[in-house]
Amino acid sequence: MKSVPALFWEVESVGLPRVPPAVLLMVVRWLEPLLGWVSALLYERVVQQCRAHPLVQLARVYDPSPVIARCAAYQKAGGRGAPATYTVAQLVRAELVRVWAGSCSDPALERLLAADLIVRWYVGLPLGGPTPDHSTLQRFHVWLSEHQPRALFDEGLAFLDQVDPEPVAQTPQIADTFALASPVAPMHTTDLLVALTAQSVTLWAELAPLALRETVLRLPPTAFELPLPQRTPGQRLARLRHAAPLAEQVLSTLRPHLAALPETDRVRLAQQLGYVEKVLADEVTTDEEGLFIPRPAATRGSYRLASAVDVEATFRLHEPHPAVLGYNAALATTATRIRAAVVVTGATPDSEAPALLLRQQQAAGSPLPPQLIMDAAAGWGKTRAEVQGLSRGQTTIVAPIPQAGGADLSRFTPADFFYDAQSARCTCPNGVTSTRAYQHGAGDGLSFRFLAAECAGCPLWERCRAADASPKGHRSVYVTPYHATLRRAALFNQSQEGRALLATRWQVEPTVAWLVRYDGARRARRVGLAAAQFHLFQACALRTLWRWLARLQRGQAPQVEQLLPVAA
């Protein structure tokens, strides 16, 4: 038993008032269980008063134990053998709180854990216990994104498929895309070129053998100092003409010595030099005198880089909205849940989204849907054929037929003509057949020509020809290799089933709106494609759970057994 002075010291350390020694003896001896009792009592009352809180509702019906089990390999970086301050279960629940709070930052999450009683209760932190600081939260967040990025998404789907089954192979999915911005700002071409070149030199100094480190590349100390200012076009041109020759010098000097590096290092340096080459090719050209000038906007390359910090981010242009530097995020949803979520670099066309979404589901071992509904970006014949081949005929694209570039929608389009591949004949809506086929100069298909003599007196002339078309002119029809696919799709879209499926496409829009407005899916928290993919997985996983909770409250989903509330 402790002495009275020792008891007084413990009382003063915890801030208890001065009371008789006998009372102190009882209080100090049972202080820890008393504090636990007070903590549990207060949490119970707070939770009872906040029954409608989303975290309280989630805690009563969803157990993240499978996610916690997948993260059991996480080890805190620190002293050897030091006991973990916080359990993996607490850190996993803290990540759920992060997404609930709009994918907030580490300091913001730390403040929530310290000040919000419901959050502390849900995570499992005692009322008077310590709070994880932002470095602890960041360390686990990075580990989770690198080792178990799909844990919450996969286990959430598995849980819903158990408590609220949905026949995957018989349920159509709806796809859509949206911009996921990178957390970096775009850089000016000259600054980008200098930064990437400097990174290449730094990487060479890190990887090169000692004998080659200084002898191969010798640059003056002021090599990467750009002329200032850059207010006028002439000043900006002077900066470019300083950066471009420097980049070419570094490329021509280092490329021949890549073979001297081990394979892993050679790949790293070659990739870094490739970034410099791409910026030069996309953004810079020369004039008649061989001097460097900015490349005209119309001739710039695709998948343009704009940041030396996030080289995987490119511009996503989705008119009429402004271009966004970052990533193109794609979703495949049903009426109840998000089945797939893919992040690719921003310049990736929306037409590639269906195949990417199906590949992700195939990799996860999930059955593919019978139909994938999307807007006209997925309506191209090439996209439809790719999905058919990828799914081995199991999945069909349901999307409006897009018009060819520059097509007049008031006139007959190529989809209105019948093409017989075996006889190489093309028949117009009026029944006139043409065999005059020419290889198209810019595509893989054929261009059929209908002469004016064949079309004279045609009752459909006004619907086939432009108003100012010459009566002696011919009509050309470009038939792609996917012409038959598009015609079948056009007939299906006009059927009752096709119209019903297209009418459901709106259901994906509220999901995207919730993700970008409330779940933090408009802007990635960290740089890099992998970090952005993890960011989207987390947001989609929790959004799916929120949708299920809403259906549960409306009586649209089977009731589940109530779990015991989380106790601190």
Average pLDDT over residues 109-131: 91
Model confidence pLDDT, tens digit, residues 244-254: 999 999 999 99
Kindly state the average pLDDT of the residues 551-562: 88
Which residues are bridge partners to 286 per DSSP? 292
Domain boundaries, the chain: 4-49, 54-148, 189-299, 414-487
d(CA 217, CA 246): 12
The strand pair at 425-427 and 418-420 is best described as antiparallel
Does residue 568 have a pLDDT over 50? Answer: no
At 236, give phi and psi (nearest 5°): -65, -35
Q: What is the pTM of this model?
A: 0.86
Residues counted in the chain: 568
What is the predicted pLDDT for the residue at 218? Answer: 84
Please report the sign of the dihedral spanned by the C-alpha atoms of residue 154, residue 159, residue 164, residue 168. positive
List pLDDT tens digits, range 297-352.
889 989 999 999 999 999 998 877 889 999 999 999 999 999 999 999 999 999 99
Mean pLDDT of 226-236: 87
- Average of per-residue pLDDT values in the chain: 88
List the one residue out of 109, 134, 135 whose CA is nearest residue 123: 109
Q: How confident is the model at residue 446 (pLDDT cuts 50, 70, 90)?
A: confident
| pLDDT band for position 19 (cuts 50, 70, 90) | low
Give CA torsion, residues 193, 198, 204, 210, to 10 deg.
150
Q: Is the distance from CB of 224 to CB of 197 less than 8 angstroms?
A: yes
The reported pLDDT for the residue numbered 81 is: 56
Find the mean pLDDT for residues 32-49: 74
Asked if 244 contacts 284 with a C-beta cutoff of 8 angstroms, the reply is yes
Query: What does the pLDDT average to over 141-147?
Result: 96
Looking at residue 175, what is its pLDDT? 97
In angstroms, the CA 132 to CA 397 distance is 47
pLDDT of residue 469: 83
Residue 1: pLDDT band by 50, 70, 90 thresholds?
very low
Name the residue type at position 400.
P
How do 433-434 and 338-345 pair as beta strands? unpaired
Which candidate, 523, 565, 522, 514, places its Cα nearest to that of 543? 514
Supply the pLDDT for residue 419.
Answer: 87
